Structure formats: structure tokens, C-alpha cells
């Protein structure tokens, strides 16, 4: 059996502190190389607040499972959240110059690589948890949202590419409206292609953010990549809303 640690403080709070700590470290490193000023720091701060709210909500969604442990895979996911928060800092000031222009792409690529690590690590060490699984899903969604906004801000993706970042949130909101109105909502069947489409979209975003890629080509790549991703959401919508 893998070893887990149950904290006296709520796991979402421990995760938020871990994310904020790593974010502070990364932001400090960026600040030594780039004088981004208040707009960058403000955007990072807003992202951290949003992530804290998301972490708490994720914990509430699994509250019926009892106290949740803070595990090593959860820490990895917290580092992913920190990368997303720092990436959000570029939304306001835009892409930096020189070698720092590569930083947004590296942040997103690093987050994507760690996405493959946290789940595999949890299974390998037998430290899977309901909170960890929920946190992984929420971090994936935030990464796509922030990444798509940054890509549009940099001019390397068309404005309608924002649909990639908003897709899951629109999907969840639509289901909430259906339940409120008393319309039927079916369980979403497990489908391996769903994770494959998400992983492919992460790869597309990482490539689009690479500064060496010509903007016209990056926009074509972003547009081509978003089509199967959004079609996957459309298919899932039909599956869960069938009567």
C-alpha cells in the first residue's frame, strides 16, 4: 500500500498553500529576468485566487468520501497549478522579448508533462484519492482556459479559439441548467478518446505558444486542433442529454 498523509487542515487549503508557494518562487525567478511590473503580478494574483476557489470547490464535490489525504501526486498537481498561475500573468502585459519569449511555452509544456506524471504516480504508489482525481480534472480545465487566453492575447490563435478554454465550463453550466429545469441528464460513459483529445489539445497549445512558429501557421494549427476537440464535447453533450 502507498503511504498517504492526512492533514489536520483541509486538503484544499494545503494544496492552495503549496500552489501559492511554488507560484511565488516561479514569479520571483521571472521578476529577476523581466520587469513586468504590477500588471503581471496582479494577473498572477487573480489566478491564484481563482485556483483557491476551484480547489475548495473540488474538495466539496468529494466531501462525501470523508477526509482526503494530501499526497505526492497532489503536490505534483499543485505545481501544475503554479505553472498555470504564472502563465496567466502574461495575459495583461503580453509576450516578453528575447529569450523570455519562450517562457510561456515552457510553462505550458511543463504543465502538460506533469499532467502525465501525477496520475501515473498516483497509480504506481497506490495513492489515488477522490480529491486528487477531481483536482487533476479542474487543473486540466484551468490550463486550457488560461492557455487559450494567452494564445489569443499573443495573436498566435484566432479569437474563436477561446472556445477551447470555455468548452468544459459551458458544458458543465449547460448540464446545471438542464438539471435545474428538470430535464433528464444521463451519466457520461467512460471514453478513452476523451483524454486523448484533451492531451492532443494540450500538445497543440504548447506548440502554438512556441515563439519560433510563424503566427499564420500557428493560427492554422490552432484552428485545426480545436475542431476534433469541440466535436468531442458535442458528442458528449448528445450522450448525456439523450432522453
- Cα separation, 148 vs 164, whole angstroms: 7
DSSP string, the chain: ----B--SS-HHHHHHHHHHHHHHHHHHHHHHH----HHHHHHHHHHHHHHHHHHHHHHHHTGGG-SPPB-HHHHHHHHHHHHHHHHHTTTTT---SGGGGGHHHHHHHHHHHHHHHHHHHHHHTT---HHHHHHHHHHHHHHHHHHHHHHHHHTSS-GGGHHHHHHHHHHHHHHHHHHHHT---PPPPP-HHHHHHHHHHHHHHHHHT-TTS-HHHHHHHHHHHHHHHHHHHHHHHHHHH--
- Cα separation, 228 vs 196, whole angstroms: 11
Domain contains 40: yes
Domain contains 37: yes
> Per-residue pLDDT averaged across 55-68, rounded?
89
pLDDT digits (tens, 9 = 90+) for 145-193: 999 999 999 999 999 999 999 999 999 999 999 999 999 999 888 887 8
Domain contains 2: no
CATH number, domain of 121, equals 1.20.120
Domain contains 164: yes
List CB contacts of 130: < 8 A, sequence separation 6 or more.
62, 65, 68
Domain contains 91: yes
Which among 197, 205, 179, 200 has a CA at the least distance from the CA of 236? 197
Domain contains 3: no
Domain contains 6: no
pLDDT digits (tens, 9 = 90+) for 82-130: 999 999 999 998 888 888 899 999 999 999 999 989 888 988 988 889 9
Domain region containing 85: 11-241
Indicate if the pLDDT at residue 2 is higher than 50: no
pLDDT digits (tens, 9 = 90+) for 29-57: 888 888 777 889 999 999 999 999 999 99
How many structural domains is the chain composed of?
1
Q: Is the pTM of this model over 0.85?
A: yes
Which among 147, 1, 18, 157 has a CA at the least distance from the CA of 74? 18
* Band of pLDDT at residue 25, cut at 50, 70 and 90: very high
Q: What is the pLDDT of residue 243?
A: 61
Q: What is the pLDDT of residue 160?
A: 97
Domain contains 4: no
Amino acid at each position: 500500500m502507498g503511504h498517504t498523509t492526512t492533514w489536520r487542515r483541509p486538503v484544499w487549503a494545503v494544496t492552495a498553500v503549496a500552489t501559492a508557494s511554488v507560484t511565488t518562487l516561479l514569479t520571483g525567478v521571472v521578476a529577476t529576468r523581466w520587469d513586468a511590473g504590477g500588471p503581471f503580478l496582479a494577473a498572477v494574483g487573480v489566478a491564484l485566487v481563482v485556483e483557491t476557489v476551484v480547489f475548495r470547490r473540488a474538495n466539496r464535490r468529494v466531501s462525501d468520501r470523508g477526509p482526503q489525504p494530501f499526497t505526492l501526486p497532489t503536490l505534483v498537481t499543485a505545481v501544475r497549478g503554479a505553472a498555470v498561475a504564472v502563465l496567466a500573468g502574461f495575459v495583461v502585459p503580453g509576450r516578453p522579448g528575447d529569450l523570455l519569449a519562450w517562457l510561456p511555452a515552457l510553462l505550458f509544456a511543463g504543465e502538460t508533462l506533469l499532467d502525465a506524471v501525477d496520475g501515473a504516480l498516483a497509480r504506481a504508489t497506490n495513492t489515488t484519492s477522490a480529491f486528487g482525481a477531481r483536482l487533476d480534472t479542474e487543473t486540466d480545465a484551468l490550463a486550457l482556459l488560461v492557455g487559450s487566453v494567452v494564445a489569443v492575447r499573443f495573436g498566435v490563435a484566432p479569437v474563436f479559439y477561446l472556445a477551447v478554454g470555455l468548452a468544459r465550463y459551458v458544458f458543465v453550466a449547460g448540464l446545471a441548467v438542464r438539471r435545474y429545469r428538470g430535464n433528464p441528464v444521463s451519466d457520461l460513459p467512460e471514453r478513452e478518446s476523451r483524454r486523448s483529445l484533451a492531451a492532443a489539445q494540450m500538445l497543440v497549445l504548447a506548440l502554438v505558444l512556441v515563439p519560433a512558429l510563424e503566427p499564420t501557421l500557428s493560427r492554422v494549427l490552432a484552428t485545426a486542433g480545436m475542431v476534433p476537440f469541440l466535436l468531442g464535447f458535442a458528442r458528449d453533450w448528445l450522450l448525456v442529454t439523450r432522453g
